[in-house]
Amino acid sequence: MLRKTKNAIYIIFFTIFIFLITKHYFSEENRILINKTRSTYSIERLKLRVLKNDTNNIIEYKNELDDFNNKRKKRIWEKLISDRNE
């Protein structure tokens, strides 16, 4: 009996909580506050200046694979498999 009343109280509190949250979320006061904050964000964004892009040709691409292959010690089985005569 005690367990059923405890579960009933939990269900009642849960439904009241969900009801109050949805009532606040869909209220007109909350919608007005959301619109005010969105408008201030858009105004602040318009005040920012746009910086010039100065990142052209900043990355240097190197072909180090050939250097690695030349420095690497050749294994016996690689010599047997290779098509070239080295």
The answer to whether residues 86 and 79 touch, using CB atoms and an 8 Å cutoff, is yes
**Would you give per-residue pLDDT tens digits along the chain (86 residues)?**
899 999 999 999 999 999 999 999 999 999 999 998 888 876 666 777 778 888 887 777 777 777 777 776 767 777 777 766 55
Whole-model pTM over 0.75? no
CA distance 69 to 38: 57
Q: What is the CA radius of gyration of the chain?
A: 35
Domain ranges across the chain: 1-47
